[in-house]
Amino acid sequence: MHFDFSPLLRYLLRRLVRIAISSGITYQAFCKLLRSVYFEVASEFEPVKGKPNSDSRVSLLTGLPRREVRALRESADAPPQPKPNIERLVLDAWTSSLDFMDAHGDMLPLPRTQRQGGTRSFEALVERVNKDIRARALLDEWLRKGFVTLDEQDRVVLVQRRSTGLVEGASGTGLLLSEMVSDLLHGFDQVYLHEQPVPGFGFNVVYGHRLTEASAQLICSTAQREGVQLMKRINRLVVEREVLDARSEGATRRVMIGFGTYQTDGEQDPGLMAAGSAADGPAGSPTAGHTA
């Protein structure tokens, strides 16, 4: 049975357009970007007999005139890839080594200098990522931002935060969020629209309505606290398996596991689930997507 996804796309586009406006991306620039993405996706969309899609088929799939498709193909360049900044790279190195975490997945305090801790020091960690960056400069910046502290033994201690994405601000957090949302949407497309199995794909959502601000805050803070503990254990499992699979020929898979919370005024922004929840009973209603 055909389902009209236009209302869902419109809802998602409202969020994206708001980000575009906040980022200074005009309607004209957004349309140009959307046109090129339509071309990129349609060029590789379900190729017939394994052959690249022709200009005519791309035009049929997208509604773009063939002359525009031809022009896009002639001017197509590799799309720019966002790059994480040095702070994200150092944090990734810290959280992706068994040498730097305990059995529960918590990050170990690191001696500040190599003289104090050798290869298991903060200075060595930064040099592992980029030898041109002075560890002291990065440490001073993280101390200023409150991302780390120095304990009585002059060790660098990572401060427990709700989101590690806060380390590098909007650009870095946007990179992480885009990766998570993109992967979930791709899994949805494969499983529900193309009926193809995607091992490991799954998501679970709990939503609530008609809550006081205090209740909403309690729910979110509880979820964040327990979610962080779960993510630390999963992160250690990921690192352990990466070490184990390092020399395996079939080690080509990547995984994405995310966790997030959100609350807002339900009268100003009711969300998509508001109508059903108001009529169907309890405010808190869990809904789960496909889990393989």
How much of the chain exceeds pLDDT 90, in percent?
A: 52
| 8 Å CB contact between 80 and 128 | no
Distance CA 286, CA 139 (A): 42
Distance CA 56, CA 66 (A): 6
Q: Give me the pLDDT at residue 167, please.
A: 54
Instruction: Look at residue 278 and tell me whether its pLDDT is greater than 50.
Output: no
| 8 Å CB contact between 101 and 92 | no
Strands 110-111 and 155-158: antiparallel
Give the per-residue SS3 of the chain. Answer: CCCCCHHHHHHHHHHHHHHHHHCCCCHHHHHHHHHHHHHHHHHCCCCHHHCCCCHHHHHHHHCCCHHHHHHHHHHCCCCCCCCCCHHHHHHHHHHCCHHHECCCCCECCEECCHHHHHHHCHHHHHHHHCCCCCHHHHHHHHHHHCCEEECCCCEEEECCCCCHHHHHHHHHHHHHHHHHHHHHHHHHHHHHHCCCCCCCCCCEEEECCCCCHHHHHHHHHHHHHHHHHHHHHHHHHHHHHHHHHCCCCCCCCCCCCCCCCCCCCCCCCCCCCHHHHHHCCCCCEEEECCCC
Instruction: Look at residue 287 and tell me whether its pLDDT is greater than 80.
Output: no
pLDDT digits (tens, 9 = 90+) for 155-203: 999 886 544 455 556 777 888 889 999 999 999 999 998 889 898 898 8
Q: Give me the pLDDT at residue 49, please.
A: 81
The reply to whether the predicted model has a pTM over 0.85 is: no
Q: Give me the pLDDT at residue 52, please.
A: 84
| Position 96 confidence tier, pLDDT thresholds 50, 70, 90 | confident
Q: Give me the pLDDT at residue 168, please.
A: 56
